[in-house]
Amino acid sequence: MKKNIITEISEDEKKYEASLRPQSFDEYYGQESLKDKLKVYVTAAKQRGSVLDHILFYGPPGLGKTTISYIIGRELGANIIQTSGPALERPADLASLLSSLSRGDVLFIDEIHRLKKNIEEILYPAMEDYKLDVFSGLDVDTGRKSIRIDIPQFTLIAATTKAGSISAPLRDRFGIVEKLDFYNEEEIRKIINRSSKVLNVEIEPDAEVEIAKRSRGTPRIANRLLKRIRDFAEVKFNGIISKHVATSVLDELDVDKCGLDANDRTYLLTIIEKFGGGPVGVDTLATALGEDNETIEDIYEPYLIARGLVNRTRSGRVVTNEAYVHLDLSH
């Protein structure tokens, strides 16, 4: 399957997207129920002068897990240290981070489901008792000797797209576990409106609505589409993003009215044309599409399932009647 602006994000793009991230709860549109709870937790911790409980955020990519984690850090007035599961290759990597923390600091670990088991085990006493086991040499009987040292109380905020891949012992040590859901069109429209001001681009209300409809309920995608439409507006039009400009560019980018791109449609058509609409196992489907299982499960399927276009069953993936209607195919 070919890559495109919906599924591909470069390092430069990540840095640029960071400039569009809201800096406070008031600037953060959507996830209202979650925000209300987090405001209470943060305010209560500040009033007591205590450290906020450890938090685990999960949900599909691009919904704002990193953004809201940083907002929590700012609201707490805390120093934020960021890393990721894959970046922590050795136990010493995590031990070094933990030993450098000050009281009340926030340690943010993205993709925590990708932590190695031996590194994960270092987190248990750190999260529960604020203790760190430090290797201090070899023991004749056990082969390994360590000492346990105190570390300052801190808040671990973790994010994952695969909550089911996190071990139960680790998951149980989070005091707050919250899921981020897809955004509705009005919430996405507000995000587009805010981002257009940050980007200093003029956009008409009807264009905001049109982009919101095709953004898959995902702020990251909405911002990415907005930037690409801005490019076209500046080069091929008068610089103003009208509904006509937005529609024309989105059609040219091959993003349909439901937010599906070429890869999504290929996914659906493969199940329909090669496997009679399903059921088909993810391994077989991944081979047919030339993709890995993780990309299919984490990137494509969450939105398709949320839109009711695909069902996951015990026997495999099945395309729904709604998918046939959307693709204008007979069933």
How close are the terminal C-alpha atoms of the chain, in Å?
25
| 161 flagged as catalytic | yes
Q: What span, in angstroms and rounded, lies between the C-alpha atoms of 211 and 198?
A: 17
CA angle 60, 61, 67 (to 5 degrees): 115
| 197 flagged as catalytic | no
Identify the active-site residue in 7, 67, 155, 161: 161
248 φ/ψ angles, rounded to the nearest 5 degrees: -60, -45
> Taking a C-beta distance cutoff of 8 angstroms, is the pair 179, 125 a contact?
no
Identify the active-site residue in 21, 214, 216, 220: 220
> Taking a C-beta distance cutoff of 8 angstroms, is the pair 154, 106 a contact?
yes
Identify the active-site residue in 7, 66, 67, 320: 66
| 65 flagged as catalytic | yes
Give the residue carrying structure tokens 């240290």.
81
Q: What span, in angstroms and rounded, lies between the C-alpha atoms of 122 and 128?
A: 11
Q: What span, in angstroms and rounded, lies between the C-alpha atoms of 71 and 217?
A: 21
Identify the active-site residue in 110, 213, 214, 264: 110
Q: What span, in angstroms and rounded, lies between the C-alpha atoms of 223 and 20?
A: 8
| 220 flagged as catalytic | yes
| 213 flagged as catalytic | no
Identify the active-site residue in 21, 65, 214, 230: 65
Buried b (16+ CB within 10 A) or exposed e, 227-242: bbbbebbeeeeeeebb
Catalytic residues: 65-66, 110, 161, 220
